[in-house]
Structure 1
Amino acid sequence: MGQIEWAMWANEQALASGLILITGGIVATVGQFAQWYLGAYSIFSAAGVLICLLEYPRGKRSKGSTMERCGQKYLTRVVKVFGPLTSNYYIRAFLHLGLSVPAGFLLATILGTACLAIASSIYLLAAIRGEKWTPIETKPKERPQVGGTIKQPPSNPPPRPPAEARKKPSEEEAAGVPAGGPHENPMPVTDEVV
């Protein structure tokens, strides 16, 4: 059984919590809650938008393939610029925990805060296990060689029977001699010219 890559789980959890923080911040700001400025913090200043921008690009898995998110390559360049600040999961864990604290004092953003605290703990576990964020590098697609893809063209014209139903040629037929000897016509043929 393979080893779990915790950073993939933390990435999904943090992205979802960033979206939840943005939504809760909108509700708190528009609804003019008593501490609506914490809702504005959850949207604009740092928490929601920063977390979504940081977490949108997926990291490359150590084994297997990783599916890129739509438009991820543009934000990957931005995340790569900050180097160890964004690729180190210890820093991400403490950053997420720190960003979640102010939003925890408002009812509309408490769900996003809890989700972000969970993502922070998963990132801490990933960091302890030695995982690190590496960008997904797209390789240019190689065009297949036309002659290299076709092994042998089909010998029968279409429609072809399934492979199990096809008759395997015997050794004599392969040499040009039909199986069962020469063919004899059951009706006598006579040549009558009138």
Structure 2
Amino acid sequence: MTLTVPVILGSVRSDRIGIRAARFLTSKLEARGHAAPLVDPAELKLPLLDRMYKEYPAGTAPEPLERLAALYRGSDAFLIVSAEYNHGVPPALSNTLDHFLEEYYWRPSAICCYSAGQFGGVRAAMPLRAMLAEMGMPSIPSLLPIPRLQKAIGDDGTPAESWLERSANRFLDELEWYAEALRTRRAQGTPY
């Protein structure tokens, strides 16, 4: 079953390393036959949240928001790639996510977290789980933490460490299971 799984990157830093994880996971999803468009806040250049997409009169939202709304409505799941800033969620990720709400409903999410150090960004993943559930896209039980990302994945998204392929495959197997199950249920209707 072909799925559409946007890969939402959470960093806009000029020397960010998270793009490596996003490239790796996009490639893995595409190799499984899925559509995995990259949602990059550095390219979107969204303003700080002043008005959510749903608060614009129909047809008047800025073009990047219209494009994302269409993508999200047609998505089956979301894969979040998050750094850890001060033990929390990066502001660029929060801002990118906060522009939408109903577009996420009844779809699972998965969290890949990373850091340049040994903890792999897991301290950001915990508050991110609560945030994603509140937005209507609860995260799958597994995480894909990547410590020392600068050594684990090359600039082009090629993994340099063998454990990463095995872990990513299990992680994506789980995401596919949840995405397919919820897609089937959405087709039968949702509670509201």
TM-score category, normalised to shorter length: under 0.3
TM-score by length of 2: 0.22
TM-score by length of 1: 0.22
Structure with higher strand content: 2
